[in-house]
Amino acid sequence: MDKILVGLKRVVDYNVRVRVRNDGTGVETDGVKMSINPFDEIALEEALRLKERGEATEVVVVSIGTSDAQQQLRTGLAMGADRAILVEADADLDALSRARTLLEIVRREQPGLVILGKQAIDDDNNQTGQMLAALWERPQATFASEVVISGETARVTREVDVGLETIEIDLPAVITSDLRLNEPRYVKLPDIMKAKKKPLEELAFADLGIAESPQIKATAYAPPAERARGIMVDDVSGLVAALKDKGLL
């Protein structure tokens, strides 16, 4: 396999407490730590391991978003990716628009495998990988916890509701990573310095010829309701009475 393409999304770091803006137009990002979507980081780690085992010769990372996403692409380069592509798009794109954008990059790069995170922690859609496979008309294997490449096929162990499922798919294909696929490597300072010299190509979203027509649009954001304070009861009868007062019994 010549090339693996990996998608990286810029999201609020998973350790940060998310806050909704006062006007309800979105999530507060000013002064907030941003990072690579954790599932995308796992996807990149798997691509790098496949390359290290001689299953691929090049790993290319791609992100769709504002110029700020260069930071996450540079982190991907520091992890070991060879090249980076940024598709600059100011608007919040839905999953279908992102899949169409990735399809244009796939047509340009002709990768033997595309690996994405199974979902992003900001919207939890779990749609882009499946949509890309459908548009590309290539096989897909979602929720991967193990990937083994053998020639022109990939054997993928998937996490499903009843346990694990193992399937074989022909390459090229789309694979989405689950949490237990691997543990991403730690980025060292020398690797960060080397990443500054690696190529990062910038493309304008408008130049890809994709009609920006989101099917889903968020109109307002609101934080979850605060949890009510708990009460103490002395015995079972007190518990039953409390539940009845709340209409739960």
Q: Which domains does the chain carry? A: 3-245 (3.40.50.620)
pLDDT digits (tens, 9 = 90+) for 226-239: 887 888 889 999 89
Is a pLDDT exceeding 70 seen at residue 91? no
pLDDT band for position 170 (cuts 50, 70, 90): very high
Tokens representing 54 are: 């001689």
The three-class DSSP label of residue 145 is strand
Tokens representing 166 are: 């193992």
Is a pLDDT exceeding 70 seen at residue 212? no
pLDDT at 231: 85
Residues 6+ apart with CB under 8 A from 17: none
pLDDT band for position 213 (cuts 50, 70, 90): low
210 with 97: CB under 8 angstroms? yes
Q: What percent of the chain has pLDDT over 70?
A: 98
- How far apart are alpha carbons 140 and 176 in whole angstroms? 8
115 with 171: CB under 8 angstroms? no
- The mean pLDDT value for 174-184 works out to 95
**Backbone φ and ψ of 214, nearest 5°:** -60, 135
- The mean pLDDT value for 49-74 works out to 95
- How far apart are alpha carbons 195 and 81 in whole angstroms? 9
pLDDT at 27: 85
Is a pLDDT exceeding 70 seen at residue 240? yes
Lowest mean pLDDT among 36-50, 87-101, 154-168, 201-215: 201-215
pLDDT at 78: 96
pTM: 0.86
Residues 6+ apart with CB under 8 A from 181: 42, 43, 45, 46, 144, 145, 146, 147
In the block, tokens 């520091």 appear at: 78
139 upstream amide cis, omega within 30 of 0: no
Furthest CA-CA distance within the chain: 70
